[in-house]
Chain A
């Protein structure tokens, strides 16, 4: 193990001092601590080497193969080279379009989720009546609206039905245009004179209509921002207010730089979370491909391509935001 790197050096000095005598000397504290460190991370290391790496390797391998499951309890692989990849791009009609629209959605989602969670975290960090209750409510989605429940909610006609107080429903549960929180037409009329372009208006309208989704996906980010806000020393705010800074100035000069590392972490987390969640359209498409023919290798090829694209996005986000991040120098 590489942790013993320091040990031979010390042994050598010892030999110089007393030649011919071999004495066992217990390792220094640093070396012993390093060894203990290896023991602590051992479970993860074993899992990574023995289970995770083979899985990753297999997944890449499968994406180049055709799989046939044998009757006796085994399977056969047939090498097909890049065929799965080219099939995904060229033969499958909807993969590329799904990928492009999914990525567009992802890029639009990042700022809205990060800004919304920052905003809510700042409000939840201030003194307000019933703060504890609000916090408890805001963290409900993190814990409860995951997996199965978001599955149930995804096709839930009940919410729209009950949320819609007027209009006679025929019982089919079909969502009518009137049930949307903000009618696109109204807002467009409102903003049409402001010359800000229809794309922005549509973006804002889609944000308002998806507020439930956004809130649901903000939980962990909110927690991270909240902990970041609380690590800012109150003394800084105090000296600011003594110097006569307004709340607005304090936000831009103190709060924002201090939470900028958290903005980076959260942006990356949002990307990861959005793209690993089962309800994003690309993932949904990949899993339908997987289920179509049980164990379709096409899905492996697709998800590896998707993974590469998202890694590029993460790198881009980290690169862009990384240059704006302010790290407080610790003494």
Chain B
């Protein structure tokens, strides 16, 4: 090897040129080897797989959107697949006007918001109780929470309906209504009919029995278990009570998790059709499930009927989902963060 040639020399600096392997060969050695090739292939495979699955997830939304803009002629035109030839807003107009979309939206919004807020707070409360306090039967009672999760609400369909159709707690209403002693008759009937009101869902939310509330309590409990006990102990030492500690220290810490739970409960209540069909009869308030039908002003009786009806249903779906999509765009990072921080362990 020859000695390095001096390129430039100043008073206190010296630049020397070594003989180096050419750039091309260096790059070859760096990138064309099994390790790098394996990594690139794996990276591409992963990326393509994720893209493919994303496509599978997003495709139904795309068909929903595109079919909602199609006019009736497009469904009999075999050359039209994904992009409407005669874009129209008639379907939207008909669904919004005929099916009373905005009325349903408002009713469902009030219902979902109230239920979501109540459920979030109650599950937070109960989850904290299970996570941080040692008392007798703690584990046993938590098993009951799991039990409420395991029993499908469809099993209880009939008795849920009966419970709230003839609502009574410990026979108090029955007693006041004169069911036990005839002379005591403060109320008109021996039970309260809660069908067609929001009361059944509010009551279920308040007692942590709403849709998938067992899961929320579970998530909250896991999250609180991850918060170090020392935090609360130092608060107790400073003279803060249990509840003050909860409200001024724990709640601010768990905002992300609470947003996650709120989004779950809000969205699941929003798209729920089990409870709404159970507790609301056709004579009651219009909720979002009620708008899924063919509007009167649209004539579907022609060759493309099956597709057109399906497109109308999809349009209803879009209208129902629209507020949720906006909510999701703002809230999705909280979901990911919230779940990541919960650190669920078996």
Contact = CB atoms under 8 A, between A and B. Distances in A.
B310 A155 contact: yes
29 contacts: A3-B136, A32-B242, A34-B135, A40-B130, A44-B141, A51-B163, A51-B203, A55-B159, A58-B159, A123-B49, A128-B46, A128-B50, A137-B57, A139-B332, A139-B336, A147-B273, A149-B271, A149-B320, A153-B317, A159-B63, A161-B307, A162-B67, A212-B60, A286-B154, A287-B157, A299-B158, A303-B157, A311-B150, A314-B150
A171 B340 contact: no
A297 B307 contact: no
B317 A36 contact: no
Nearest to A145: B60
B346 A55 contact: no
A73 B193 contact: yes
Chain B contact patch, size range: 35 or more
B316 interface: yes
Contact of B344 (A3, A265, A311): A265
B286 interface: no
**For chain B, what secondary structure do more than half of its interface residues adopt (helix, strand, loop), or is it mixed?**
helix
A106 interface: no
A261 B206 CA distance: 31
A184 B336 CA distance: 37
Given A230-B343, A278-B274, 4 more contacts: A148-B289, A152-B313, A162-B66, A211-B53
A152 B169 contact: no
Contacts of A256: none
Interface of A: 2-3, 5, 29-30, 32-41, 43-48, 50-52, 54-56, 58-59, 62, 67, 73-75, 120, 123-124, 126, 128-129, 132, 134-149, 151-153, 155-159, 161-163, 165, 168-169, 171-174, 211-212, 215, 220, 223-224, 226-228, 230-231, 260-262, 264-265, 272, 275-276, 278, 283, 286-287, 290, 295, 297, 299-300, 303-304, 306-307, 310-311, 314, 325, 327
Interface in B193-211: 193, 203-204, 206-209
A263 to B, nearest CB: 9
Nearest to A218: B53
B59 A163 contact: yes
Interface string B117-156: 0000010011011101111111001001100111111111
B335 A139 contact: yes
A43 B122 contact: yes
Interface of B: 43, 46-47, 49-50, 53-54, 56-60, 63-64, 66-67, 75-76, 78, 81-82, 122, 125-126, 128-130, 132-138, 141, 144-145, 148-163, 166, 169-170, 189-191, 193, 203-204, 206-209, 215, 217, 236, 242-243, 246, 263-264, 267-268, 271-274, 288-289, 292, 303-304, 306-307, 310-311, 313-314, 316-317, 320-321, 324-325, 328, 332-333, 335-336, 339-346
A162 B273 CA distance: 27
Given A34-B135, A144-B324, A227-B339, A303 B346 contact: no
Nearest to B153: A276
Contacts of A35: 135
A71 to B, nearest CB: 13
A40 B321 contact: no
A140 B328 contact: yes
A46 B205 CA distance: 12
Contacts of A138: 53-54, 57
Contact of B271 (A120, A135, A147, A168): A147
Most B C-beta atoms less than 10 A away, residue of A74, A152, A275, A310: A152
Contact of B320 (A30, A36, A41, A148): A148
Contacts of A264: 346
A36 B133 contact: yes
Contacts of B58: 137, 140
B313 A325 contact: no
A145 B46 CA distance: 25
A48 to B, nearest CB: 6
Nearest to B53: A215
Contacts of A300: 155, 157-159
B126 A40 contact: yes
Contacts of B304: 171
B327 to A, nearest CB: 8
Contacts of A211: 53, 56
Nearest to A141: B57
Given A36-B133, A307-B151, A75 B340 contact: no
A5 to B, nearest CB: 7
Contacts of A276: 150, 152-154
Nearest to A247: B42
A171 B56 CA distance: 24
B303 A146 contact: no
A99 B32 CA distance: 57
A148 B288 contact: yes
Contacts of B148: 48, 52
The residue among A44, A51, A142 with the most chain B CB atoms within 10 A of its own CB is A44
A39 B136 CA distance: 13
